[in-house]
Amino acid sequence: MELADSLRHGSKDRFNKNERALCYKQTVFCCLGVSVFSIVWCLLNYFYWYKNGWSGDELVTLLDLALRTLSWGAVSVYLHSQFFDSANTKFPFLLRVWWGFYFSFSCYCLVVDLVLCGKHVSLQVQCLASDAVSVFAGLFLCFVGFLKIKGEDTLLDEPLLNGDSSNNSESTKSRGGDTVTPYANAGLFSILTFSWMGSLIAVGNKKTLDLEDVPQLYSGDSVVGAFPVFRNKVELDSGAASGVTTFKLVKALFFSAWKEILWTALLAVLYTSASYVGPYLMDAFVQCLNGRGKFKNQGYLLASAFLVGKLVQCLTQRHWFFRLQQIGIRLRAVLVAMIYNKGLTLSCQSKQGHTSGEIINFMTVDAERIGDFSWYLHDPWLVIIRVALALFILSKNLGLASLATLVATVVVMLLNYPLGRLQENFQDKLMKCKDKRMKATSEILRNMRILKLQAWEMKFLSKIEELRKTEAGWLKKFVYSSSIVRKILSALATFRILQEPIYNLPDTISMIVQTKVSLDRIASFLRLDDLQSDVVEKFLRGSSDTAIEIVDGNFSWDLSSPNPTLKDINFKVFHGMSVAVCGTVGSGKSSLLSCILGEVPKISGTLRLCGKKAYVAQSPWIQSGKIEENILFGEEMDRERYERILEACSLKKDLEILSFGDQTVIGERGINLSGGQKQRIQIARALYQDADIYLFDDPFSAVDAHTGSHLFKEVLLGLLSSKTVIYVTHQVEFLPAADLILVMKDGRITQAGNYNDILNSGSDFMELVGAHKTALSALDSKQAGPASGNDSVSKDNNGMRTTNGVPQKEENKDLQIGKADEIAEPKGQIVQEEEREKGRVGFPVYWKYLTTAYGGALVPFILLAQILFQILQIGSNYWMVWATPVSKDVKPVVSRYTLMVVYVALAVGSSFCILARSTLLVTAGYKTATLLFNKMHLCIFRAPMSFFDSTPSGRILNRASTDQSAVDMQIPYQVGAVAFSMIQLLGIIAVMSQVAWQVFIVFIPVIAACIWYQQYYIPSARELSRLVGVCKAPVIQHFAETISGSTTIRSFDQQLRFQETNMKLMDSYSRPLFHSVAAMEWLCFRLDMFSSVPFAFSLFFLISFPKGIDPAIAGLAVTYGLNLNRLQAWVIWNICNMENKIISVERILQYMSIPSEPPLVIDENRPDYFWPSHGEVDIGNLQVRYAPHMPLVLRGLTCTFPGGKKTGIVGRTGSGKSTLIQTLFRIVEPAAGQILIDGINISLIGVHDLRSRLSIIPQDPTMFEGTVRSNLDPLDEYTDEQIWEALDKCQLGDEVRKKEKKLDSAVTENGENWSMGQRQLVCLGRVLLKKSKVLVLDEATASVDTATDNLIQQTIRQHFSDCTVITIAHRITSVLDSDMVLLLSKGLIEEYDTPTRLLESNSSSFAQLVAEYSARSNSSFEKLS
């Protein structure tokens, strides 16, 4: 009960508080209104009597009005200071008594006025109006003071309000993010005046807005509501999406928002009509001022018509613009959803033609542009109406002379067509270049680690700069051509009234051109082939005994290629069987799994699948997000099953090491996990889905031997013992457990059967098993062999005894762990929230932008050109007005010839000024964009690897595409518009002050009010604009991830969930955008209303006191006055828009200040040409962490890798093996300790000098889009002979010779058209070309079969016999023939000695690892015998 009472009281209090606040506001406004009314009255009377002489009575009236102004002003200040945010409930007694007295007195005066009027006593209208205003104000104040505000005692009698307000106190703080925008339920008045935005702007004024403060979109604007309508329209028109043409796409877009489009068309017509009221009535107004009015008070009537026209113009324009942008937001969102959904269903062939970078461009640039086109939606047909109206008005005033104008106008319009075609061509080329650049950028960002390891990043930066140079060439042509076009046209539009429609024409045409190009590109993308839907015949779970069956299957990745990828495939798998697939590198094992998933186009045959499937890819695909989310992958949490799967995938220990357990946020592409951890999370994800058929593409290769056997036992033989499992493997020891083994060669299944059957039946399988046996025999001889002393190494290594120094090692370990914990205190996630600036955009951002090109030297010239233009424009108008006679009977001041010559000279002069201004502006803007681009990219490429690990590439791509696009195409014009509109405003003020300087008495307070409003609005607008920038990156990020993991997503049938996530992210982006647009209109509406005040004042002033003013000049002033309020609002709008747009510059500058890696080269500390000559690596007390807020990964290593010897590094997944290698290449800088190579401390030389002298074959084999040659030798350092030699050494020579273009054969994005093993061999080829003294193999043979592994080891032994080779491997056989073995555990050295010595001691961890490996392998062979 108590709770209910307190809730009820709370809600009433809240309601009453709001009601009181509203009343106080109204009261303050009323008092302020009376004060302003009094001063205006006082001034009008003063000027009137000043000219016509005055008496004592009039002096008293003036004093009375002045006193009223002061007293009411004082009351409003008092009310504002006392009751603003106050809990006080009543106005002071004295104040209420005064209001009562004021009301009574005003009523008395009004009655006296009315009585005198009745007796026909001449009475000034002003007195009557003044008394009427006083009565209404007094009545309102009495109502508020005596009746409206109730005391506390009446609160309890109030009935309960609707349930909404009676939620508990927390819900009053309910986050804006959970509520729907007030726009959805706003009333008519609120919608007309945009008052529904008030609450959000008020919040933004008190605190920095965050996304949760911004309300949700209502269903009509949300992509979730709008997309199904749009999709149905497209499908209805085009049948399948593959039939989409540009026209059908436009039609679907139109029909998905046709009501709004028609409504805005109506508003546009109303606005256009209202804007011509002024020019149409101008002649009558000038005649009226000249004393030739047709009837009494015609002037007042005309002035009222001007004012009404102005107000209609204001209302319609604001709603027209708002609705257009609303349409734009909706269209942009549905297009992005459409492109995203298409990206999920693209066939492999289509994907090869369009890389993820290009597809991201469709979303970021093309969909954005189509959204922006909504601004220009009605302009093409409005131009015709405007020009027609303008010509009608001119013909009314000029008669036949207007025919010349008509001809000129038609010529101008026709000129636009060829110019438009030219621009379309430029725009098309520009977009293609942008695609290429974005494609290259996204590939480089994905593989930045490899580029840094190989010291190639600067070469690739120059590649990006080359692409940008081509793009900038087209950009230059595009911006110069459009600026010159615009100038030619505005010069021809001599008449001011024709200027605007014609001036805007090139803009509109340029925008139509750009939008058409974008629509064509999106339509052609939507027409691309999808995956064949009939490849797989699917049956429901339990409807058949057969799980998978392929009959006479022929499949090919490339349907145009004469020889298929998979030929004559026949096999049948029953439920519960386990099938192993093996074969050499490139034999078609992964393609076989892909074909079962339905990814490979089918040429002939049938493929049947019964039940739900799950897939584990060879190169792991991990989403950025929490580990738990990756494993659940959209399923509900079942804690017991989850724990069981973690156990089976041996992830428990890894999660204990990670600071946040399974809540740890994974960086992009699993950047903060080791290869093995990523692979095991993938397996856990598949297990959690509880499917019927499991497809594993060699997942055991990326994990160490111990984990591999654990996984095989727990997962394949344990959890999945009753399921259908098909696994590709290179590890022969996993084969005997399979019920069916498929041996593949050249895309055919050459042998099929169980282990014993096929062992004796063919040579292909024997090759694989033979290679494995060879490796094992080496292992056996090591284990059995005596302790042959490798004396040179058996001495103490840096004071640490080897095998029998265990106790000492343990103590040492505890001590180090203690230290590590102290250091690892501040823990944090690797991917931090995207940083955004808070508060106002600093002056340095503007200054930096203005002074980037030529140190800002062009800025004064641009301003000078605009000032001259303004002077010449006003001069030419003034000249016409002064020199033209008012009526036919007045003698002209100058001859007609002189009049025309001077006018034309002034017009030509002003055209030249405009041309100069425009060319200079474009030059400065272009130069600035180029410099900012180069600086930002240099800073990104020189950033340390930690920056790329913690920054999703979506954020970087967003700056390289969207923000760079704004700097290229929009910001120069936006900054220019601010300066130009200010100069124009000053020009108009100068003209008006010549005629009616009294206008400034009103103008100055109005300007003050406008500036106050703008200051009030800016904090919210700025933060909304920044939120738009921040919310865009997740959309791009999610999309890039989806494209790269589309196979996995499809294999789990999760397309729907990913499409929903994309829509949610899209709505999060549209939310701040929608409210940012509404906030802008909220401000503009108020500015327009305010600026109508001085205009109205000047009109009534001119009519009331026509004496002594030249009517022609007065007409000129009114013409300018018609533009005064529009321009004043335009100036403030431009300033606000510039603040919003300049945020793109701010975001680019943010990336120009990323801390850089150590210098590439340190001149005074360059190693000599032959370094390292011996290759000895000395490590001393090495401690490493990935970021200041993360725990230590290596916790004090000390050892020496002898020069010219092979050192193997082993250890459990996550023990720090890869981190040690990264530290050796200075990808990560040590927190303490040092590494010396041949006596040189690697931290003291340039990183380029270091990395270019070391070689590495990385864990993830990477190939770049290009050719075979460019992949082996990106820096063009070697001859073709050398490249062929390297290819032969790494067994790829024959493969490349088979290809038509040999070394120039194409490599697609990520090397997708090469198998994993072949990519690994290409990496070996790079190393063979480089011939470094120190070679690192980071799990280099993980993706190849044992035979190829032996071959690689043999090649390395042969060609790197005198080099220091450091090998990280999971296959024990790869490290057995090393001279030394280093065993790491949890970032510490557990053992370090020769393999022989370590194998002697049974207590050695290494010996246990080897025993386990050989036991596992031998057991599989024992099964056979």
* Positive or negative: CA dihedral 343, 345, 346, 349: positive
Residue 1356 near residue 1377, CB atoms below 8 Å: no
pLDDT digits (tens, 9 = 90+) for 816-874: 323 233 323 334 565 555 555 566 677 888 888 888 888 888 889 989 998 898 888 87
Copy the structure tokens of residue 664: 């740890």
Residue-wise pLDDT for 1099-1112, tens only, equals 777 777 666 556 66
Residue 1020 makes CB contacts below 8 A (sequence gap 6+) with: 200, 201, 203, 204, 205, 209, 1079
Cα–Cα dist 390/408, whole Å: 13
Q: What is the tens place of the pLDDT at every residue in 532-563?
A: 777 888 888 777 788 888 888 888 887 777 78
Find the mean pLDDT for residues 937-966. Answer: 82
Helix axis angle for 639-648 and 675-688, nearest 10°, is 140
Higher pLDDT, 109 or 48: 109
What is the 8-class DSSP label of residue 1159? P
Residue 524 has pLDDT above 80, yes or no: yes
Q: For residue 353, is pLDDT > 50?
A: yes
* Cβ atoms of 835 and 1025 closer than 8 Å: no
1151-1160 confidence digits (pLDDT tens): 888 888 888 8
Reported confidence tier of residue 174, pLDDT bands at 50, 70, 90? very low
Please tell me the least confidently modeled range out of 789-803, 912-926, 1184-1198.
789-803
Q: Is the dihedral of CA 1068, 1070, 1076, 1079 positive or negative?
A: negative
814 C-beta neighbours (distance < 10 Å), count:
9
Q: Is the pLDDT of residue 993 over 60?
A: yes
What pLDDT shows up at residue 780? 59
Tokens 């604001």 belong to residue: 318
Angle between helices 258-275 and 246-255 (to 10 degrees): 80
Which pTM value belongs to this model?
A: 0.67
- pLDDT for 89 equals 55
The mean pLDDT of 509-514, rounded to a whole number, is 80
State the chain's mean pLDDT as an integer. 76
Q: Measuring CA to CA, which residue among 506, 508, 226 is closest to residue 377? A: 508
312, amino acid identity = V
Pairing of strands 1240-1241, 1232-1237: antiparallel
* Per-residue pLDDT tens over the stretch 1184-1218: 887 777 788 888 888 888 888 888 888 776 778 87
Reading the block at residue 32, the tokens are 């302020």
Q: Is the Cβ–Cβ distance between 1149 and 836 less than 8 Å? A: no
Whether cis (ω within 30° of 0) applies to the bond prior to 826 is no
Share of the chain above pLDDT 90, in %: 0
Closest by CA position to 1135, among listed 835, 840, 920, 854 = 840
**pLDDT > 60? residue 88:** no
pLDDT tens, position by position, 1134-1189: 887 787 788 888 888 888 888 888 888 888 888 888 888 888 888 888 888 877 77
Residue-level pLDDT at 834: 58
**Range in 269-273, 800-804, 884-888, 1290-1294 the model is least confident about:** 800-804
Q: Distance of alpha carbon 1417 from its chain centroid, rounded?
A: 51
- What is the reported pLDDT for 173? 33
Sheet holding 578-583, edge to edge: 613-616, 693-697, 724-728, 578-583, 740-745, 748-753
User: For residue 176, what pLDDT is reported?
Assistant: 46
**Predicted pLDDT at 496:** 56
Angle at 1389 between CA 1387 and CA 1390, to 5 degrees: 115
With b for 16 or more beta-carbon neighbours within 10 A and e for fewer, the 396-417 pattern comes to: eeeeeebeebeebbeebbebbe
Predicted confidence at residue 155, as pLDDT, reads 33
pLDDT at 400: 62
CA angle centred on 1394, ends 1389 and 1396, rounded to 5°: 125
* Between residues 1000 and 733, the one the model is more confident about: 733
Count of all residues that appear for the chain in the document: 1425
Proportion of the chain in helix, strand, coil states, percent, rounded to 5: 65, 10, 25
Q: What is the mean pLDDT of residues 1003-1014?
A: 76
pLDDT of residue 1125: 62
Contact 546, 610 (CB under 8 A): yes
Give the range with max mean pLDDT: 25-39, 830-844, 1196-1210, 1327-1341: 1196-1210
pLDDT at 240 over 70: no
At 404, the amino acid letter reads A
pLDDT at position 913, please?
84
Q: What are phi and psi of 299, to 5 degrees?
A: -55, -45
Phi and psi angles of residue 555, each rounded to the nearest 5 degrees, phi first: -130, 150
Give the separation between CA 308 and CA 331, rounded to whole angstroms.
34
Query: Looking at residues 1364-1372, what average pLDDT do you find?
Result: 78
Structure confidence at residue 472 (pLDDT)? 85
Task: Report the candidate in 1237, 1279, 1248 with the shortest Cα–Cα distance to residue 1161.
Answer: 1248
Q: Comparing 3-12, 504-513, 579-588, 1033-1042, which segment has the lowest mean pLDDT?
A: 3-12
Which pLDDT score is estimated for 1097?
72
Paired with 1337 in beta bridges are 1257, 1367
Residue 745 has pLDDT above 50, yes or no: yes
What is the percentage of the chain residues whose pLDDT exceeds 70? 78
pLDDT range class, residue 1041, cuts 50, 70, 90: confident
Contact 679, 702 (CB under 8 A): yes
Which range is least confidently modeled, 336-350, 481-495, 927-941, 1381-1395? 481-495
Q: How far apart are CA 1083 and CA 1079, in angstroms?
A: 6
Span 318-326, average pLDDT: 89
Q: Cα dist. 1041→667, 1047, 1402 in Å?
A: 12, 11, 47
CB-based burial label for 219 (10 Å; 0-12, 13-18, 19+):
exposed
Predicted pLDDT of residue 488: 58
Give the mean model confidence (pLDDT) for residues 580-588.
82
Mean pLDDT is lowest, of 437-451, 561-575, 663-677, for 663-677
Mean pLDDT of all residues in 295-312:
77
Cα dist. 250→258, 518, 1301, 1402 in Å?
Answer: 12, 11, 42, 76
DSSP 160: P
